[in-house]
Amino acid sequence: MFKVVFPVSKVKAFVFLPPLVAFLLAYFGAMAGVTGAFLLLPFQMSVLGYIAPSVSATNFTYNIVAIPGTVFRYAREGRMNWPLAAVITLGSLPGIACGYLLRVQFLSDPRIFKPFAGLVLLYLAWLVGRRGIAGKRKKVLPAIDARIRCTEFRVNRISYTFDGETYSFDPRPLSGVAFLVGVVGGAYGIGGGAVLAPFCISVLQLPVHSVAGASLFGTFMSSLVGVLVYHFGFFSGGLSTRADYLLGALFGLGGALGGYWGARMQKYIPERPIKIGLLAVLLFVAARYLFAFLC
């Protein structure tokens, strides 16, 4: 009675399953500045059996529905890092189109795409574990009323204050990394935020509480472009690339609720547990795909 067959993917599942899974992924992912889409794609492939290239587009659809409420929450509370969001977005967008071409031209076979996905997840785990787990800060939690204020915005330097401290970074290398991440995200279907958030935290040494909102905003904008390029299916050679919008919308509904509440609770959760949990899940899923490929 509660099972439905989704029109594009042909997946048959209980109607409440997609939003429930997405809620849990987004709730915990939002605290680290990611939507949970990097784990939603393995769920679709391994649990639902959805392996066509259009699964990447469905992941983008999830992001479009799930992210706005979370971004609104961060912006409303003054924890949206707009300069960082601009650098991530402008760097990622061209990469998304390149990633789409990579997906349809070279990664359409699931036997090739699954180990690719495993390597992406393994790299994410390395980024999080490289410095993020061991790093110590003066305070475990920021003040409840901490706000982000930009103090300098130049081509070679962006500075902002957060929770009584000043943070600075050069946007040019980040923009280049964002492009490369956009290529990978465009092929995978994650928009790049799942990679750039750990990069900003681990490499640029920015606090997770000031990165999360900007990362999610960049993912939202990249996902809009991703859905468009997959929808029109340029140079796809007849492959099914158009998203399953109904399935993506149900995922997005759960993700919107989970992301909103995750953003609301983030300021009460220390950085260390967020990073450890993210690392554990990344390693588990990456190992599963790579082990299956090697064996």
CA–CA gap between residue 229 and residue 98 (Å, rounded): 10
Average pLDDT of the chain to the nearest whole number: 87
Contact 211, 81 (CB under 8 A): yes
Residue 134, pLDDT > 70, answer no
Residue 132, pLDDT > 60, answer no
Q: Would you mind telling me the total number of residues written for the chain in this entry?
A: 295
- What average pLDDT does the segment 288-292 reach? 81
Closest CA to 166 of 205, 115, 216, 120: 205
- What average pLDDT does the segment 14-29 reach? 90
Burial class (CB in 10 A: 0-12, 13-18, 19+), 76: exposed
Burial class (CB in 10 A: 0-12, 13-18, 19+), 136: exposed
What does the pLDDT look like over 138-182, one tens digit per residue? 456 788 889 999 999 999 999 999 999 999 999 999 999 999 989
> DSSP label at 268?
T
Report the C-alpha dihedral over residues 198, 203, 205, 211, rounded to 10 degrees: -30
Give all strands (DSSP E) within 90-170, no chain letters: 148-153, 158-162, 165-169
Structure tokens at 243: 């998203």
CA–CA gap between residue 49 and residue 42 (Å, rounded): 10
Q: Which domain holds residue 145?
A: 3-294
CA–CA gap between residue 98 and residue 87 (Å, rounded): 18
Residues of the chain with pLDDT > 90, as a percent, come to 45
Least confident of 28-42, 105-119, 169-183, 246-260: 28-42
Residue 133, pLDDT > 60, answer no
Q: Provide the domain count of the chain.
A: 1
Residue 115, pLDDT > 60, answer yes
The top-scoring range by mean pLDDT among 45-49, 225-229, 291-295 is: 225-229
What does the pLDDT look like over 178-237, one tens digit per residue? 999 899 889 998 877 767 877 888 788 898 889 988 988 999 999 999 999 999 998 888
- What average pLDDT does the segment 280-288 reach? 84
Closest CA to 266 of 72, 25, 30: 30
Confidence of residue 263 (pLDDT cuts 50, 70, 90): confident
pLDDT at 138: 47
Question: Residues 207, 210, 214, CA angle at the centre, nearest 5°?
Answer: 125
